[in-house]
Amino acid sequence: MMTTIWSGLSTGALYAIAGMLFTIPLVRCGIINFAQAFFVVLGGYVMAALISDGWSTVPILLVLLAVGGVLGGLQELLTIRPNKGRHETALVTTLGMGVAIQGFILAVWGSNPKTVLFFGGDDPISLFGGRLAPADLWMIGIAIAAAIGFQFAVARTRWGLLGRAAMIDQTAATLRGINIPRLRTLAFAFGAAAACALALVAAPKTGITYGNGLGLAVYGFAALSIGGFGSFSGTLLGGLFIGLVQAFLTRYLSVDWATISVFAILCFVLVVKPGGLLGARQLRAV
């Protein structure tokens, strides 16, 4: 039983982090960057290539941050800024960026999956009567720390205040001296850098397959939608809930029932409370 709970929590933590990666540009400029999940997969392939060349963990982390930051910034400059950040256009262009990343991965590394070892070891740990891998424990810890840190930043810091101003009324924010294009570029660069760096923990857990991006994007968006648009703490709860539902239904019924149930819950929440359980109504994205 406890092993199933740990499995659900670790998987749900990954979904929660994916949802938080969507939330970073959302709370800064009102745009969900659907390419974030594909950056995680790209980071996994870059990580595997560097490991095969004998690189150690810290230099790999720095490279992943740099690659993600540059690509995220270029994404905003080339696909979002020309359309002045219009949300309906951004939906298409961010999805298009994700497809382009997937195509790049296929062209460079092919379709064969890869595996990498976790830098913290792979020997299972016994905790509260259940078994889990070190990568699972790290994933849960990162999700909790990220939710607390980002929620505090959005609610209590100047960083969060500027983001809310830009999101609610860009014209008024510009008149008050906020550089909207720069804020948006930094949000995309930071989000993509964090997504690539997440591969250090996500790749050993999920494996490295070019098709992982779509699944992670879907479940990350589900976590965001159930938990609440713009709420990092809500996204954490949404992701953990989805992970637990999947784990228990997969164990006692089947994978098919787990998938059907998750999206039935998602549809119910979006009908009853479109902004998500803990989200603000003005952040409704669907």
Contact 170, 233 (CB under 8 A): no
Residue 38: its pLDDT value, please? Answer: 96
Token code pair at residue 115: 């595996």
d(CA 192, CA 251): 34
Non-local CB neighbours of 220 within 8 Å, separated by 6+ positions: 15, 16, 17, 18, 19, 21, 22, 36, 37, 239
d(CA 80, CA 40): 20
Strands 125-127 and 130-132, bridge-based pairing: antiparallel
- Digit-by-digit pLDDT tens for the chain (286 residues) are 788 999 999 999 999 999 999 988 888 778 889 999 999 999 999 999 999 999 999 999 999 999 999 999 999 999 888 887 677 788 889 989 999 999 999 999 998 899 999 988 888 888 888 888 899 999 999 999 999 999 898 888 887 777 777 777 777 777 777 788 888 899 999 999 999 999 999 999 999 998 899 989 999 999 998 988 888 999 999 999 999 999 998 888 877 788 888 888 888 888 888 777 776 555 544 4
For the chain, list the domains and their CATH numbers.
2-283 (1.10.3470)
Contacts 24+ apart (CB under 8 A), 214-218: 214/37, 214/98, 214/102, 216/14, 216/15, 216/18, 216/37, 216/40, 216/41, 217/18, 217/34, 217/36, 217/37, 217/38, 217/98
Residue 85: its pLDDT value, please? Answer: 65
Question: Does the pTM exceed 0.75?
Answer: yes
Residue 179: its pLDDT value, please? Answer: 84
Closest listed residue to residue 45, CA positions, set 192, 215, 190, 202: 202
Which backbone phi and psi does 275 adopt, to 5 degrees?
Answer: -80, 0
